[in-house]
Amino acid sequence: MTADATWNEAAVRERARAFLAANDPAAMDRLDFLRARFDAGLAWVHFPEGLGGLGAPRELQAAVESELRGTPDNRPGRIGIGLGMAAPTILAFGTDEQKRRFLRPLWTGEEVWCQLFSEPGAGSDLASLATRAVRDGDEWVVDGQKVWTSVAHTARWAIMVARTDPDVPKHRGLTYFVCDMRAPGVEVRPLRQITGEAEFNEVFLTGVRLPDSLRLGAIGDGWRVAQATLMNERVAIGAASGRRTMIDVVCETWRSRPELRTHDLHQRLLRLWVEAEVLRLTGARLREQLAAGRPGPEGSGLKLSFARLHQELSGLEVELLGEDGLAYDDWTFRRPETVDFVGREAGYRYLRAKGNSIEGGTSEILRNVIAERVLGLPSEPRADKDIPWKEVPR
């Protein structure tokens, strides 16, 4: 997707100002304002015209956000899977009809998305998944179980990979679908975490019928489509940034507790601040690659660094706070729509950060991806790579 060079910052700012002149957010319903913003091409400026964008360079989005500061937003923390994973995959592999149907309500937040990839027996080795989709005329009948599915309890749609041909090697027999989370046969059960919450779920699919119009990409091409999703996911997680980050939180704690400072803790904080800056700048560079339609394996390195940095920062914060850092008594069972990482207490952050090295690809698997696809090192032996999936011992 080539950006339209005729768009520059001045032109985009003028577009945003004209939009505000015609659409007063104080006088409009929130959703009506967001729908109008999407239709004006000010949702994702780098997306094509008619699909929420202007075909402009991605870096011009910052100018749009500056002009529209203070207006209703789409609550991105609630729809992160849709924004970071579903939307770029639909744009790259969806039909024109699928793009028109899904992208607008996805961006406005009217429809929440989740991701049905991992299974009890197929997490790190995703290609070994066993959920089956069997063709029945113009429909597919899906049976299986998915696990670790964030916000499945609030999702309207899911991106899903299922096995459509067990007679070929595991990577070649997969097909990618959009799953209707309200379809008969879809059951969502909560998975309670170490924090007491259940932001994750397990999802059971029993005789779920999906029309072929919900297939994304060609039959048997699911692994390639899924790889694009995973690369976008790792950049989205690793490059996640907001107005307040973990390094901001820990620096605030450092300033507020001078009696707990030591030379060793100071050196650790300085090192982690440098790493946080490297992560921020690397994330900006990788987002430019995504904007150019080139998500690559480098995102695995970003996500790997993000997980380690968050875990080290949350550990340092607990040390800085001394006994207060160990306090965590909010074990209330909740099913949140978002993960409020920096808005909670230090004890929560320390516990929740443990999941950063698992979600979105385990750190061990990401090291393999970096070794093989970034550094060009020899692959590990894979005995099941070239034999039919159905013949692989389980």
Q: Which residues have a catalytic role annotated? A: 233
Residue where the block lists tokens 């707990």: 260
Q: What are phi and psi of 162, to 5 degrees?
A: -140, 160
CB neighbour class for 319 (10 Å; exposed up to 12, middle 13-18, buried from 19): middle
Alpha helices in the chain (DSSP H): 9-22, 30-39, 61-67, 80-81, 87-93, 96-108, 222-238, 246-256, 263-291, 298-321, 346-352, 363-369
Angle between helices 96-108 and 30-39 (to 10 degrees): 140
Q: Do 48 and 1 form a contact (C-beta atoms < 8 A)?
A: yes
- The half-sphere exposure of 189 on its side-chain side, counting CA atoms within 13 A, is 8
CB neighbour class for 69 (10 Å; exposed up to 12, middle 13-18, buried from 19): exposed
Integer angstrom CA distances of residue 285 from 54, 87, 209, 291? 21, 20, 41, 10
CB neighbour class for 130 (10 Å; exposed up to 12, middle 13-18, buried from 19): middle
Residue where the block lists tokens 């990979």: 161
Which uninterrupted H or E stretch holds 188? strand 186-191
Rounded to an integer, what distance in angstroms lies between the CA atom of residue 127 and that of residue 120?
A: 13
* Alpha carbon 215 to chain centroid, angstroms: 20
